[in-house]
Amino acid sequence: MTFSVAQAVSALSLLPLPAKIRNPKPRTIVTRRRNPFVPFSSKVEERGVTFETGDSFFRCESATGRDLGILAAALHRRSLGGSLRVLDAMCGCGVRSLRYLVQAEADFVWANDACDGYRRLITSNLTSVVSRLSSGGERRWVVTHCDANRLLTERYLQRDHFDLIDVDSFGSDSSFIGSAISAVKAGGLLYITSTDGFSSGGHRPQHSLSSYGAYVRPMPYSNEVGLRVLIGGALRESAASGFLVYPLFSYYSYHGPVFRVMLQVCRGHLQDNSNYGFISYCNKCGHSQTFHWAELGQITCSCCNGMVCHSMVLSGPLWTGPLHDTSFVSEMLTLARDWGWACKSKKCFDLEKLLNQMVDESEPRLPPGYIKLDEIARRAKINTPPASAIITALKEQGYAACRSHIIPNAIKTDCPISSCMSTARELQGERSINHLQMPV
Ligand SMILES: C[S@@+](CC[C@H](N)C(=O)[O-])C[C@H]1O[C@@H](n2cnc3c(N)ncnc32)[C@H](O)[C@@H]1O
């Protein structure tokens, strides 16, 4: 499908600009109904914005991923002094484009989806809420139907760079990462996705090697590995053209599964201390380690007494640094509270909890991976310790420790698993004594 700006502009019409949503509603409501353009459709309300999904690929479960993208976009717009151009490369029914326009107050959104059958759906969704032209006669949005790679490359060749590029792709198609990096402004944001849980689980290492340049082996924290492989793949691509990427937030969702990362693209070159290396897991003792490239060839586990360690598996290269930027996710939390999307009460606690966990996970001392509480219990031959108790005990010993947003019954910590086991044993001992001392 070819595209020209003239075609996009020719479709412009003047419609009144609707009132802005000042206090987006914190719920998603879905109503099935007939749409005049498509055989069957759902009318969906997401954070106060209403749209039709038609026969496009749309998942209500991805609403949190969209919330996070919108919050990041709004913060980025603020940091730029109030101007934001977004390219939504795989827009489906156009829900993100709509939300970037209305909630993040993007000045311009380029909504693209390869499927030209979605055209009426996308334009109808956008026109029903946002006029195509601003009051000053500037285009607010265009809709095209190109292959994402072609569109991104065309924009790069036209020197038409964007503040935020969102590529909501399926599987582990990474072919667009390089073209997206070339079309984003220096300092801009890139929101990318993978839905390939099979590769992150280490079940087809050649596949992850082709997509992200990382050989992935089975590890107990494979869903965090999936996020790190995605960031690492983008880092490798960006380094080839003199850029580096840093994760502002990383989000795993079990619906799919879906791995999403919001990256900031900055000029730079890989250094020896770049967080791009290898992680290991020892199946014998459960110890995880991080290795730099210079340490390749000297990798072993302390339980193997310096000998070749057949119980160890190594994955990488991948991102070994923090999953999130502390100040950015803290600002996202503040903004989500301001908008009524996050709060301590039940109705909006999910996003509050998620963003708080992301703030905790962003602690720079925390190494890659998490330790499942069941693994501590199995290795220490005790009952599974309560997460809150072991986190408190580890912090009292000076370790960094928190819950993981990826899995509920696991902890992230810089404490070696052997010390986690002894701490858990002590906790169990204390609990037994307390139990014995309970008055009958
Ligand atoms: C996961 S869906 C998008 C969902 C949408 N972003 C949302 O939040 O509801 C992926 C979309 O990408 C489109 N697509 C697939 N391959 C594409 C390509 N190479 N270029 C552009 N769009 C593509 C599909 O038609 C599909 O609508």
Check whether residue 148 and residue 23 sit in a common domain: yes
* Domain end residue (candidates: 250, 266, 282): 266
Candidates 223, 244, 241, 221; CA nearest to 232 is 244
> How many CA atoms within 13 Å lie on the side-chain side of 261?
26
Candidates 136, 120, 126, 157; CA nearest to 5 is 157
Question: CATH no. for residue 377?
Answer: 3.30.56.70
46, 63 in Cβ contact below 8 A?
yes
**What number does the ligand 1 atom closest to the CA of 65 have?**
8
Most informative mutation of 113, 144, 150, 258 for ligand 1 (most atoms within 8 A of CB):
113
pLDDT the model gives residue 185: 98
How many angstroms separate the alpha carbon of residue 127 from the centre of ligand 1? 20
* Domain end residue (candidates: 236, 266, 296): 266
Q: In the predicted model, is pLDDT for residue 397 greater than 80?
A: yes
How many angstroms separate the alpha carbon of residue 169 from the centre of ligand 1? 6
Dihedral sign, Cα of residue 332, residue 335, residue 340, residue 342:
positive
Residue 316: both structure tokens together: 């990488």
**Which domain covers residue 72, as residue numbers?**
13-198+227-266
Domain annotation covers residue 302 = no
Nearest CA to ligand 1 atom 19: 147
Nearest CA to ligand 1 atom 25: 115
What does the alpha-carbon distance between residue 63 and residue 246 come to, in Å, rounded to a whole number? 23
Q: In the predicted model, is pLDDT for residue 338 greater than 90?
A: yes
Most informative mutation of 57, 98, 258 for ligand 1 (most atoms within 8 A of CB):
57
């390749």: which residue's tokens?
296
**Strand runs (DSSP E) across 107-225, as ranges?**
108-112, 141-144, 162-167, 184-194
Check whether residue 262 and residue 374 sit in a common domain: no
Q: Is the peptide bond before 317 cis (omega within 30 degrees of 0)?
A: yes
Check whether residue 380 and residue 251 sit in a common domain: no
Give the strand pairing for 276-282 and 288-291: antiparallel
Question: CATH no. for residue 23?
Answer: 3.40.50.150
For residue 340, how many other CB atoms are within 10 A of its CB?
15
**Count: domains in the chain:** 2
Query: For 146-198, how does the pLDDT look when each residue is reduced to its tens digit (9 = 90+)?
Result: 999 999 999 999 999 999 999 999 998 899 999 999 999 999 999 999 999 98
What does the alpha-carbon distance between residue 343 and residue 348 come to, in Å, rounded to a whole number? 5
How many angstroms separate the alpha carbon of residue 94 from the centre of ligand 1? 10
What is the mean predicted confidence (pLDDT) over 99-117? 98
* Domain end residue (candidates: 243, 266, 289): 266
**Looking at the whole model, is its pTM more than 0.95?**
no
Query: Nearest 5°: CA angle at 189, between 112 and 180?
Result: 50
**What number does the ligand 1 atom closest to the CA of 92 have?**
27
Q: Which residues contact 253 (CB under 8 A, 6 or more apart)?
A: 61, 62, 64, 65, 260
Between 19 and 396, residue with greater pLDDT: 396
Query: For 403-416, how does the pLDDT look when each residue is reduced to its tens digit (9 = 90+)?
Result: 999 999 999 999 99
How many angstroms separate the alpha carbon of residue 349 from the centre of ligand 1? 30
